[in-house]
Structure 1
């Protein structure tokens, strides 16, 4: 769990992502050692996502996003996630409950690229069927800062 100092640091990092330890200490009126200790814990633990997770897909030449749900044959699941990791355009894969088993976010250059990527997903051992929805517009971007108050 993150504490009140972590919360203050994270709110500051949202405003100034490249803040140094000294900057954090000065702007939050905490000791440099305290700032260093908390930043180390946040960055070395699993509390913060990799910096690349904040990139917009268009920055890497893939402006089109799609959400893919997949049904999986549980008897053939061995090696599935390793195979999905080999598809660079699969940027997230989550196990879900309900009618489908997996939720994947993919990024693509265009509609033809979405088709190519989903065909590649279908080739992965254990995938029975998929359904794809194109992301038309991001209405509320992923956010966590509101939970830090």
Structure 2
């Protein structure tokens, strides 16, 4: 199996399915700007290529699904005109949250990825954005409090 999906649309489809595996093909098509039939064909290809090897239930606590979480602390060259960095982050489906913060930092980004290799790919991609000056990355070792509501 290849290390990453063929294109950004495949990555978006996978991210949406991770979030809600029961999403309808029509709703998924609206999110990725494709027809229902095109989404169905892509999902079938992702299944054939091994990106989707099964479907599961995500329980509210202790679901056992292995993911790697990281926080990227990003400094931009220009805080006031750094919207290009945020636009680039929006295009990465594994970006769970992005906060603009006060103080020395500019952005705090939480990443949820299937493995550390994907975190590294995202770090490399973000570090190449023209407006990024520096990134500090912290990998989560364990989550001891999680108050996020399942959507």
Work out which of the residue numbers 57, 66, 70 in structure 2 matches 1:66: 70
Q: Secondary structure at the match of 1:133?
A: strand
Does residue 134 (structure 1) correspond to residue 139 (structure 2)? The answer is yes
Shift of 1:93: 0.4
Structure with greater Cα Rg: 1
**Counterpart mapping for 1:1-149 below 5 A:** 63-74=67-78, 76-142=81-147
Distance 1:81 1:124 in 2: 10
List structure 1 runs of 4+ shifted beyond 4 angstroms: 56-59
From the superposition, tell whether residues 65 and 143 of structure 1 become closer, same or farther in structure 2 (CA, over 3 Å): closer
TM-score relative to the length of structure 2:
0.51
Structure 1 unmatched runs, 5+: 1-53, 145-149
Q: CA deviation at 1:114?
A: 1.0
Across the aligned residues of Structure 1 and Structure 2, the Cα RMSD in angstroms comes to 2.8
Corresponding residue SS for 1:88: coil
| Cα distance in structure 2, aligned partners of 1:125 and 1:64 | 26
Instruction: Give the Cα–Cα distance (whole angstroms) in 2 for the partners of residues 117 and 129 of structure 1.
Output: 14
Between Structure 1 and Structure 2, how many residues are aligned? Answer: 89
Contact preservation (8 Å) 1:67, 1:134: yes
| TM-score using structure 1 length | 0.51
Structure number with the higher helix fraction is: 1
Structure 2 residue runs of 5 or longer lacking an equivalent are 1-59
